[in-house]
């Protein structure tokens, strides 16, 4: 892996410079993990910026997109219980209540009685919320394509498979 970038004819990036400096200063350490994970970290920063820009085009915060997209992915009638939204977005119930309140005030969602539980509610995406989340998704995908533009389809597929392999243990139900 040490010379992978050079072997493929790729140029040097900032991570190459950092890794070379660590190898010079700490030759006793194996710094190869940095070659992958420092690049993942840098790409994550670029993705965060792309997300903020895409969502700003629709006057959305990232958390708003997360909640609206969970509802949109649920399919017709685009509604979930607050508990289901908690599981989809990994936030606390107090945080979710606040988020639903704010999205309701913006006209993106509405609360409806839960027909299966008199005490419960369902949160449904409004037509306006659906339009906003769809536009934000299109803008995000456009920016994500730009981030991946240097890769061909085959390379993008291989990278996706490799990253999936790295993430699977973290996504396991028991966390192991």
Task: For 70-125, write each residue's pLDDT tens digit.
Answer: 999 999 999 999 999 999 988 888 999 999 999 999 999 999 998 888 888 999 99
The CA-atom distances, in angstroms, between 17 and each of 10, 28, 152 are 14, 18, 25
The CA-atom distances, in angstroms, between 15 and each of 36, 93, 95, 127, 132 are 9, 40, 37, 45, 37
pTM recorded for the entire structure:
0.81
Task: Answer yes or no: is 24 within a domain.
Answer: no
φ, ψ (nearest 5 deg) of residue 30? -90, 105
Task: Answer yes or no: is 46 within a domain.
Answer: no
Task: Answer yes or no: is 113 within a domain.
Answer: yes
Task: Answer yes or no: is 66 within a domain.
Answer: yes
Q: Is the pLDDT of residue 176 over 60?
A: no
Task: Answer yes or no: is 22 within a domain.
Answer: no
How far is Cα 126 from Cα 76, in angstroms, rounded to an integer? Answer: 11
Could you tell me the CATH number of the domain that includes residue 102? 1.10.10.10
What is the helix (H) or strand (E) element at residue 166, kind and residue range?
helix 153-171
Number of domains in the chain: 1
Task: Answer yes or no: is 109 within a domain.
Answer: yes
The CA-atom distances, in angstroms, between 53 and each of 42, 93, 135, 143 are 17, 28, 13, 9
Instruction: Report CA torsion sign: 89, 92, 96, 102.
Output: negative
Range of 67's domain? 62-132
Task: Answer yes or no: is 54 within a domain.
Answer: no
Task: Answer yes or no: is 8 within a domain.
Answer: no
Q: What is the pLDDT of residues 24-69, one digit of tens each?
A: 999 999 999 999 999 999 999 999 999 999 999 899 999 999 999 9
In this structure, are residues 79 and 112 in contact, taking their beta carbons and an 8 Å threshold?
A: yes
């Amino acid at each position: 892996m040490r010379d992978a970038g050079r072997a493929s004819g790729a140029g040097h990036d900032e991570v190459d410079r950092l890794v070379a400096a660590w190898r010079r200063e700490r030759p006793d350490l194996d710094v190869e993990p940095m070659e992958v994970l420092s690049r993942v970290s840098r790409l994550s920063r670029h993705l965060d910026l792309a997300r903020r820009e895409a969502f700003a085009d629709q006057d959305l915060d990232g958390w708003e997109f997360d909640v609206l997209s969970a509802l949109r992915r649920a399919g017709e009638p685009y509604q979930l219980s607050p508990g289901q939204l908690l599981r989809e977005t990994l936030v606390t119930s107090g945080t979710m209540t606040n988020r639903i309140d704010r999205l309701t005030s913006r006209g993106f969602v509405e609360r409806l009685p839960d027909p299966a539980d008199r005490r419960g509610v369902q949160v449904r995406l409004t037509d306006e919320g659906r339009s906003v989340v769809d536009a934000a998704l299109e803008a995000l995908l456009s920016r994500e394509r730009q981030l991946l533009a240097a890769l061909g389809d085959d390379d993008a597929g291989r990278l996706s498979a490799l990253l999936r392999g790295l993430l699977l243990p973290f996504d396991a139900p028991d966390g192991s």
